[in-house]
Homo-oligomer: A and B are copies of this chain.
Amino acid sequence: MENFVFYSPTEFVFGRDTQVQTGPLVKRYGGTTVLLVSGGGSVERSGLLGQVRESLSQSGIKYVEQKGIAPNPTDDRVYEGIDLARDHGVDFVLAVGGGSVIDSAKAVAIGVPYAGDFWDFYCGKAQPERALPVGVVLTIPAAGSEGSGNSVITKLDGKHKISVRYPMILRPRFAVMNPELTMSLPWFQTACGVADMLCHIYERYFSNTPATDLTDSIAEAIMRDVMDNALTLKEMPDDYDARASIMWASTLAHNGLCGTGKQEDWSSHRLEHEISAWYNVAHGAGLAVMTPAWMQYVAERNPGKVMQFAVNVMGISPDGKTEAEVCRLGIESLRGFYHTLGLTTSLRELIGGEPDLDLLTESLRGNMGDTLGFYVPLSMADCRKIYEAAL
């Protein structure tokens, strides 16, 4: 086991009707003037935004709104949010939505107190020293951004989709999580969320660090539970308890618990980020394509953990089978799981055409350098082969 820091200071307020606690929570964490960031019209139509506004007003909190943050959030909206926050003397950023809204809100939160360009923190030119406090009312369980110090922003000029991690200052102060709010999600978004949270666990699970049995067995328990409950939801999308399990799992998948004591990998995410940046597909849908392709490629070079995943998570019996067969059956079963959820595992099908693999690989090299990951360190030639295997 490696040395680690586990720091998950967010107060998670979980369950039915918890959105009415938003105002008091903002107040408790020192907010007086809020930038209220949201995404599509569904949070308005469902009445959620109205409930949040009312809760803020009842707590005597002023707010200014930034609406319409789209999936794969872009730098232009961040600049806009920073200006808005400065103009109105905002001291707290409240995100009502899923990962894209939260990530955009976090970028605003580190941008406001910084004299330079916020993109400095994403391109590695500067490290943020402070941020406005961020709170979350979560509507899509997927990204885990409600409990993480991460933010992913895409620069429109050049299609750089960059993920940063500043855990000491960017973890939200609180996250209100009501599973009922997720029942009206289109099925595709639920399925993409499941693929995303599972991948947050894979990135930590697939590791060569020895003697991580405690972290591994927690990760395996969460992965099995997510898959079980996703299949329940496919049949019964209004099942509260399955919604609740999936929602809480999305947080645990990404708050650091599943990575304690381990070297993390993050290749699949980086391979996928190019796809959603260039072809504007849903991140989770991209991961359902890239993770089995990545797993298959690394299993041929370092089968140990893929075998463990196949047996302990996918339920493949190893009796009388070679290691390669167990890995193959586990990955096949994972692809079958994604197909049952209605997700494709083919890159061509995902983007509806022929992807430009040179473009993807060169863009990846531009963002990430010459190698990727640790479980099996990948050259850019390896990455291109994984894109090919995903076709």
Binding site for B on A (CB under 8 A): 1-16, 18, 210-211, 213-214, 217-218, 220-222, 224-225, 228-229, 240-241, 244-245, 248-249, 252, 257, 260-261
Contact = CB atoms under 8 A, between A and B. Distances in A.
Given A214-B249, A218-B218, A260 B14 contact: yes
Contacts of A222: 214, 217-218
A3 B19 CA distance: 12
Contact of A214 (B15, B220, B245): B245
User: 3 tightest A-B contacts by CB?
Assistant: A3-B15, A211-B241, A9-B9
A8 to B, nearest CB: 6
Nearest to A210: B241
A297 to B, nearest CB: 29
A5 B13 contact: yes
Nearest to A173: B9
Contacts of A211: 241, 244-245
A369 to B, nearest CB: 28
A3 to B, nearest CB: 3
A255 to B, nearest CB: 9
Contacts of A10: 7
A261 B214 contact: no
Nearest to A220: B221
A213 B12 CA distance: 19
A12 B255 CA distance: 13
Contact of A5 (B5, B14, B224): B14
A210 B3 CA distance: 37
Contacts of A2: 15
Given A3-B18, A14-B260, 13 more contacts: A1-B15, A1-B241, A3-B14, A3-B16, A4-B12, A4-B14, A213-B228, A214-B221, A214-B229, A214-B245, A214-B248, A217-B225, A218-B221
B260 A1 contact: no
A7 B11 contact: yes
A189 to B, nearest CB: 21
Contacts of A5: 11-14
Contacts of A8: 8-9
A213 B244 CA distance: 11
Given A2-B15, A3-B15, A241-B1, A225 B213 contact: yes
Among A217, A225, A229, A257, the one with the most B-chain Cβ atoms within 10 Å of its Cβ is: A217
A7 B3 contact: no
A343 to B, nearest CB: 22
B12 A6 contact: yes
Contacts of A218: 218, 221-222, 252
Contacts of A3: 14-16, 18
Given A3-B14, A11-B7, A217 B221 contact: yes
Most buried by B among A10, A16, A211: A211
